[in-house]
Chain A
Amino acid sequence: MTGALEGLKVVELASEHAALAGKMLGDLGADVIVVEPPGGHASRAYGPFADDVEDPERSLWWWYYNTSKRGVVLDLTTDAGAAQFRGLVADADIVLEGETPGTLATLGFDHHEMRADHERLIWVSVTPFGSEGTRAHEPATDLTLLAGGGPAWSCGYDDHSLPPVRGGGNQAFHIGSTWAVMGALTAVLAREVTGHGQHVDVSMHAACNVTTEMGTYGYLAGHETVLRQTGRHAMPTISMPTQMRCADGRYVTTGFPPRSQRDFESLLEWIETLGYRDEFPETMLLDLAIERGGVSIAEMSTDDLARDIFGAGREALNFIAERIPAEDFFIGGQTRGLACGVVASPEEAFETEHIKARGFQVEVEHEQLGRAVRYPGAPFLMPASPWRISRRAPLVGEHADHILRRDPQ
């Protein structure tokens, strides 16, 4: 069985910005050739490293973001390298790059000209602020993009003497890369109708700006400024805590409080089973909730009692959470139909029976280490054209022979 993007050829210039986009296209079945400068791309120097040995072939950053790609080294500043790059692009459906605006044009690879020569070509640029405009040349990193684009303002703690927090894990690049894939695939579908490729210009700053939920639409609609709050939604006003430290010291999120009659029945049953009916001070409001058939969010803005009942549901979850271990809370709540979650570290998230049962743990062979390595697998299961890590990330220049040795005819 082949991947959904079987037959699409992608030439990716190695970058931090678009590496995940190339991986997504490759894992979806496209033939992705990642082009690195002599010596390999700078991200090969990013840790952590396999067995903590610093080596360009052992960067776990490089490994993760470059699966399902083949690799070549080209020096685009030389005539030979430039000609080979043009040769690759001539065969490609998509060029994916994250260079500083103007850099490629200076080297003679202006996408307008290259697309004029190759009208089906789709050229995707992933840059901090887009290809043009006042800010196009500002230096930026994952941190400054998340801080300047909105996400960080909403993330952090109730205690505002602590700084706003950058969400971990290169998320500005992830946001930009995911939009790059959306744009690239949209352009592929448009090309099926028009016959023409086009330029897809992704601004990571713009992408962060529209990845902030109420932080943005609350201001656009109501000129509200949200305030960051520990482990829960930033809101214009301070809300009740939802992230609780459990009896074992680990955290849970008590989720979105009960609203339906059945939810309130489950909650009351849980409190009674644990023996807290008399100890929990707002049991009466839970009884009331059941009597009136639950509450709805729309009622909150007009009905004080609905608001009190909603609050009591939240209090009840928090009350239970503080008294039992985190995993027991998560399972106890969810088996009763109450939405809640345990705050898992990445490794804990990965080592669940659920994830194993769905085949999310994928083994990728790293023959130079003499062993296979487990990777996170598919973000979605598509059985007719499975998402698949077809190969480990390439070594520096690994596929030069196959890719660059072209028939002289």
Chain B
Amino acid sequence: MGALSHIRICDLSGQLAGAGATRYLATVGAQVIRVEDPVKQGTWDIVRGAGPFVDDRRGIEFGSGFNNHNVEKLGIALNLREERGKELLRALVAGCDVVTENFAAGVMARMGFSYEELRAIKPDIVYVSNSGFGATGPNTAFKTWGPIVQAVSGLTFSSGIPGEAPAGWGYSYMDHMGADIMAVAILAGLIHRNRTGEGQWIDMSCTEAGTTLVGPDLLDYTVNGRPLRRDGEPDSNHSHAPLRVPHGIYPSEGDDNWVAIACRDDDDWQRMAAVIAEPWATDPRNDTLGERAAVQDALDARIAEWTRARDRFAVAESLRAAGVPATAVARPEDRIDHDPGTSEWGLWPTAHHREMGDVRVDGIPLHFSETDWSIERGGPCLGEHTHQVLSELLGLDDDEIERLAKDGIT
């Protein structure tokens, strides 16, 4: 019995930003019915059939990203170009609490499923849209992917080393955060509905969601008139607010190995200096934050010289043992296969996919004491649950279901 076993979602969303939101809800018990297009074999979703792969097999059922982001969902195929397909979707919506989608703005309305139309089917429906720029405003038709959202929201610019191009995010951070914030929208919409009986259309602009994640830098601009586009910025491995020195990512022994160290205050520095135990470190001229900040670059160079000759795990362990926040910059294998912080959490559950077999996937980073999440079923193959959903939820008989398949509706 999951926390949301009483909730059913008609899920037209996909990619990562949409799929990630309903994925979470499915792992805590919501019945998520993902609707895909049989004509295009579900490839509107670019991760359906895209690598990485578990073996040499290729095709729409072998994309591991799709599997990862669609665990615990039911999958049905429905051709929404055809009136009969639309009728079936309407019947499905009538039995759902929530409709989710992350098409480009306007696509749902063009298909005949605007909020007005959805509400006519199910008056208290919670309809949540997640698009790049939202459903209104001059840029509403603009198309985005995660990296574009990150660029236009200020997140890419905020990440980097002075004098270099922006480093940005090496993956679609806003597909994750967009999905998580979309999940918040769905949950808040349900809580409001349960209290008032009222549904609504929640219009999420992923770009605006991204800009809420650069708040203090933005207030420095709106309050003090200080833009982040200025010399010396971005400088995100250092810590200006709060001011902390030393604070950075330093090279260590081996090829492309790194260690992150953050001294929160003078005491942390004293402990770190004691671990280093060399005159340049224990020099009393470095005792206070102000003094260290004044010589930050020189201090960083000294620390890098010290770390470069040492193993990254050994450096981090010696500093942590002294109470200083430090870690090896974790490679995937470090944190997935050799980290009690993830293994004890149960963070990499195995899900069973009909074609791919057993594959480890992302778990959920929270635990509920009473109604915890569960991940067993992998992402659905295209139309894997069409028969089940049409029969059990919509009450269609086998002949009708067979006819729909023959007519290209499913």
Contacts and interface: CB of A to CB of B under 8 A. Distances in A.
Do A and B interact?
Answer: yes
B327 A169 contact: no
A147 B327 contact: yes
A222 interface: yes
B236 A160 contact: no
B329 A152 contact: yes
A357 B52 contact: no
B181 A373 contact: no
A50 B225 CA distance: 10
B176 A226 contact: no
A234 interface: yes
Interface stretch (B318-326, B385-393, B394-402): B318-326
Interface stretch (A269-277, A315-323, A345-353, A397-405): A345-353
B59 interface: yes
A217 B367 contact: no
B26 to A, nearest CB: 12
Given A346-B217, A384-B192, A178 B258 contact: no
A172 to B, nearest CB: 11
Given A167-B173, A341-B147, A376 B187 contact: no
B176 A211 contact: yes
Interface in B174-208: 175-177, 180-185, 187-192, 194-196, 198-205, 207-208
Contacts of B168: 155, 231-232, 243, 253, 343
A153 interface: yes
Interface string A169-184: 1110011101111110
Interface string A295-332: 01110111000000000000000000000000000100
A292 interface: no
A81 interface: no
A301 B58 contact: yes
A47 interface: yes
Nearest to B330: A148
A381 B134 contact: yes
B262 A155 contact: no
Nearest to A48: B220
B3 A187 contact: yes
B331 interface: yes
Nearest to B115: A383
Contacts of A61: 216, 241-242
Given A139-B323, A358-B136, A298 B59 contact: yes
B229 A5 contact: no
Contact of B331 (A135, A153, A221, A233): A153
A171 B229 CA distance: 19
Contacts of A129: 341
Contacts of A167: 155, 158-159, 169, 173, 236
Interface residues of A, number: 158
B75 interface: no
A153 B141 CA distance: 34
B336 interface: yes
A101 to B, nearest CB: 13
A203 B366 CA distance: 6
Q: How many B residues touch the partner, as a band?
A: 35 or more
Contacts of A166: 159, 236-237, 249, 260
B202 A380 contact: yes
A212 interface: yes
A279 interface: no
B243 interface: yes
A345 B329 contact: no
B314 to A, nearest CB: 15
Contact of B64 (A183, A220, A301, A384): A220
Contacts of A236: 52
Contacts of B78: none
A374 B222 contact: yes
Given A213-B172, A215-B170, A135 B139 contact: no
Contacts of A63: 219
Contacts of B364: 210
Contact of B365 (A6, A206, A242, A330): A206
11 contacts: A52-B224, A147-B260, A150-B332, A203-B345, A217-B64, A217-B361, A225-B333, A344-B153, A376-B212, A382-B188, A382-B202
Given A134-B341, A186-B28, 13 more contacts: A48-B241, A64-B216, A138-B320, A143-B249, A147-B249, A153-B329, A163-B258, A179-B366, A190-B3, A205-B342, A256-B148, A345-B154, A375-B218
